[in-house]
Structures are given as C-alpha cells and as structure tokens.
C-alpha cells in the first residue's frame, strides 16, 4: 500500500473540492515564513498519534516555528523521523467530527464510518457514538445514506447541503484515487462550513499502474517492509521473536498459526512465493535477520519449487554473513532429501515434519 503523508492527502482533497486550511510544506529552516496569524506545525510522518507524541505544535512567531521544527525533528514516531513539516493556519471551530471511507473485506463492500466525536481520542469513543453505512460500489453515496449520516452526526440544518456535498466529494476521492482508506479526523465545523484539519489517504497497491505519481515511495511502511517492497518481496513485521519465511501466502499464514499453537510468536510474515532462486532465498533470509529474531524458521513445501536449490540459498546466506541467528528448516517437495542433506552438512537443523520443525523453533526462541 502507499500511505500518503498528511499534506499529500490534503492536496488530493483540495483537488476534489474539499476545504482544507491554508498552509505550506517545508523541509528546511530557510523555508520558514513569518506567520500572519496563529499557526500549527505538524510532523509529516506516516504514523498516528502525532499530537499525543509531540508532533503537533501551536506557534505565533517565526522563532517559535524554528523551535518547533527543531523539537519535532528529534522525536521518534514509531520508527520514523520527520524530515518535512506542514505549517498551516489555525482554524477556529465549534465542533470536531470523524468521517472515513474504507473497505470491509468480509462483506466485500465500501463502508462509510462516522462519529460526532472526532479528534485525537477517536479510538476511545464509545460504540454508540460510531455508525457504519455499507455502500454499493455501483450506486455509490446514495441520498438516503447522506441523510441518515447527517442526522447521526447531529449538525444544525444550515450545514445539510454542505455535508451532502462533502460526502459526494469524499466518495469521488475514494473511487477516483483507488483508495483503501480515506479519512478526515478531525473534520472541523466552522462558522462558514466544514474543513478537513487532517487527512489519511491510503492507495491500493494493485492500482498503482493508474497512479504513477504515488510510486515514489512506500512511505507508510516500516523501513524493512519498504526495503522488501523495493525488492519485490512480500514482507510484514508482526512483532514476535521467530522470523518466518515460507513459500506461498496460505502456507505462511498456516505456519503462523502452527507457531502460535506451539507456544511461540512469529516476528514477521515473509512469503517467498514460488521462487527457488538461491539469490532470492538468501536475500529473504538477510532481510529477516535485520529484524533481529531469536530464531529464523523456514517452511518450504515445494511443488514447482525445488527444495535443494532453496537449501543452497540458505547456505549462501549463512556463508555471506558474520552473524547468524539459529535457523530451523522444514523442507518438503522436489529433491527435499538432497536439500536436507545439504543443510545438515552445514550444521542447520532440517526436518520434513512440520510439527517437529515448529516445536524445535519454539524451543530455541524460548
């Protein structure tokens, strides 16, 4: 996925006619301008809770902007450091609400999510303060949905047409930009209308061929996930201490379950797909090692994939590195006996039985 920074999302909003505060993006001190009114400096990082973590600072003078940038630059936002900053005017408002459009994959439908209580504490809003409206992808934002959504939000009657127009434009962003998520939190209710004080826009990977301008970087990703993406490797950090490599998404997910049932915790999801290229295998192992797992568990169930060439890639990765975590391998498929012999000859524990292999990996991790 491509998770756009706030100012990038707001640029899209503006192009679709959604109101945003006036402001500008800066990358260095020399770009700072003297503010004409009270402003806010916002860290541009693909991470939530910026306000809580000190990434949003109110300022009135140029010197305060410089101090704010200096302070924000030193903050670690879930592994990200701010290198760009949005300076925008403060927008006086009487109410903050939440509006979002995303996909409900279980229902295979877009869903509109609203709350009359937006802002930094949206995760703690009671369930009765959140409402979902499921949308037909062909019919879009129908009038009855806009009407019910407006009544739920609880705005005064003079905002009705403004809100209806916003819903249409939000839907146009969602479909026109092939989004997985479009979120405004908070949406400010001002004396003259509705203003998007923040933006969260996520573009669907499979639609990037239609949006060349979004392919510059996978900004939302963990640095290792971004590296994997550039190398065309399916890799997701999970937080456990067993680095996992398997071939095929289904097998990878099933292996995560097996590890959990055995009392362990997978530290990542890395899908080799159908490759048995030793270079690709070695590259995958080196990527997982950077996550510093206690043990690397490799589960290969080969059809087209040749087990012996996978083994060669594992051995290559070990020989090319000075530091290696313990590696446990389960090999099944074409030439698996030769592959197991190669691995054992190089001091690597190798199994054909998945239960034995998982048990060994969990024992090592504990």
Active site residues: 98, 183
Find the farthest-apart pair of alpha carbons in the chain and give their distance in angstroms, rounded.
78
- The CA–CA distances, whole Å, from 136 to 147, 153, 171, 257, 275 equal 16, 21, 12, 34, 39
Residues 6 or more apart whose CB falls under 8 angstroms from that of 193 comprise 19, 159, 162
| CA 341/CA 343 separation, integer angstroms | 5
Lateral strand order in the sheet of 234-237: 234-237, 268-271, 242-246, 295-306, 326-334, 349-351
Whether 219 and 322 have beta carbons less than 8 Å apart is answered as no
3-state secondary structure 111-180: EEEEECCCCCCHHHCCHHHCEEEECCCCCCCCHHHHHHHHHHHCCCHHHHHHHHHHHHHHHHHHHHCCEE
* Radius of gyration for the alpha carbons in the chain, expressed in angstroms and rounded: 25
**Coil, helix or strand at residue 78:** coil
Secondary element (H or E) of residue 299: strand 295-306
**Coil, helix or strand at residue 333:** strand
Structure tokens at 207: 């639609």
Beta bridge partners of 337: none
Q: What count of Cα atoms within 13 Å lies in the side-chain half-sphere of residue 342?
A: 19
Closest C-alpha to 242, from 346, 327, 332, 312: 327
Structure tokens at 258: 């097996």
């Amino acid at each position: 996925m491509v998770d756009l920074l706030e100012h990038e999302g707001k640029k899209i909003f503006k192009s679709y006619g959604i109101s945003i505060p006036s402001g500008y993006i800066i990358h260095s001190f020399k770009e700072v301008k003297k503010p004409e009114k009270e402003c806010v400096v916002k860290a541009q990082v693909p991470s939530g809770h910026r306000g809580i973590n000190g990434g949003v600072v109110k300022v009135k003078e140029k010197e305060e902007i410089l101090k704010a940038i200096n302070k924000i630059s030193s903050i670690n936002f879930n592994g990200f450091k701010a290198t760009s900053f949005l300076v925008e005017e403060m927008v006086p408002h009487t109410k903050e609400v939440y509006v979002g459009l995303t996909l409900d994959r279980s229902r295979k439908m877009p869903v509109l999510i609203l709350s009359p209580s937006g802002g930094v504490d949206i995760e703690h809003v009671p369930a009765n303060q959140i409402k979902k409206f499921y949308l037909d992808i062909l019919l879009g934002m129908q009038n009855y949905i806009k009407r019910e959504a407006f009544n739920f939000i609880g705005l005064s009657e003079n905002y009705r047409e403004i809100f209806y127009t916003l819903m249409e434009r939000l839907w146009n962003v969602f479909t026109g930009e092939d989004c997985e998520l479009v979120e405004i939190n908070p949406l400010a209710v001002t004396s003259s209308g509705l203003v998007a004080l923040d933006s969260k826009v996520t573009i669907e990977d499979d639609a990037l061929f239609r949006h060349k301008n979004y392919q510059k970087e996978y900004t939302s990703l963990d640095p290792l996930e971004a590296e994997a993406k550039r190398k065309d490797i399916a890799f997701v950090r999970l937080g456990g201490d067993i680095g996992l490599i398997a071939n095929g998404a289904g097998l990878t997910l099933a292996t995560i379950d097996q590890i959990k049932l055995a009392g362990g915790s997978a530290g990542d999801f890395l899908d080799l797909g159908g490759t048995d290229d030793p270079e690709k295998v070695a590259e995958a192992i080196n990527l997982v090692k950077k996550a510093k797992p206690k043990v690397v568990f490799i589960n290969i169930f080969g059809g087209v994939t040749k087990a012996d060439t996978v083994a060669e890639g594992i051995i290559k990765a070990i020989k090319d590195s000075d530091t290696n975590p313990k590696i446990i391998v389960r090999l099944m498929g074409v030439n698996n006996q030769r592959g197991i012999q190669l691995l054992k000859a190089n001091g690597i524990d190798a199994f054909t039985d998945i239960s034995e292999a998982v048990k060994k990996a969990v024992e090592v991790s504990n």
